[in-house]
A = this chain, B = another copy of it.
Amino acid sequence: MDSASGASPPFVHFIRVGWGDCDPARIAFTGRLAAFALEAIDAWWEHVVGADWYRMNIDRGVGTPFVHMTMDFRSPVTPRHRLACEVGLLRLGGSSVRLGVRGRQDGKLCFEGEFVQALLRAPDYIKFEIPEDVLAKLRSAIVAVE
């Protein structure tokens, strides 16, 4: 997700990892890592598109259910550092988005993943025309994949 010169810097969402996120192996539980990546994507919507999933669904009528996720876990996550989650839009389809997330602690890659969300009409989740202003913001957010 490193971008070429001239492109906007990547969006990074910081997460405080705590005791309650960790399992008896003293590292963040796998299920929490998935939740962290999802939280980072929600924050990306808020920052880039101007509305998080809550506002997008309830205020704008755009449902954003996940249809796919894949994650590779590279290095343990602990409470000793903040978790920096870089999020980038990899692909914008007619009715879906593919996002990449990379979680780092102290500069070290801890996990990376790709997530696909369908974009449907809320609350009935049927196909529809994505509102033009949302589409415009998504278009401008596509990152150059390295």
8 A Cβ contacts from A30-83 to B: 30-32, 34-35, 38-39, 42-43, 52-55, 57-58, 63, 65-73, 76, 78-80
Give complex CA distance A79, B103 in Å. Answer: 23
Give complex CA distance A72, B70 in Å. Answer: 9
State whether B20 touches A20 (Cβ < 8 A): no
Q: Is A93 an interface residue (CB 8 A)?
A: no
State whether A16 touches B39 (Cβ < 8 A): yes
State whether A26 touches B70 (Cβ < 8 A): no
State whether A23 touches B19 (Cβ < 8 A): yes
Q: Name A18's closest neighbour in chain B (CB-CB).
A: B42
Q: Is A6 an interface residue (CB 8 A)?
A: no
Residue among B18, B31, B66, B70 making CB contact with A54, cutoff 8 Å: B18
- In the complex, chain B residues whose CB is within 8 Å of the CB of A23: 19-20, 22-24
Given contacts A18-B39, A42-B18, contact A80 B67 (CB under 8 A): no
Q: Is A123 an interface residue (CB 8 A)?
A: yes
Interface set of A (CB-CB < 8 Å, partner B): 16, 18-20, 22-27, 29-32, 34-35, 38-39, 42-43, 52-55, 57-58, 63, 65-73, 76, 78-80, 122-123, 125
Q: Which 7 A-B pairs have the closest CB atoms?
A: A19-B53, A70-B70, A54-B79, A34-B34, A31-B35, A30-B66, A24-B26
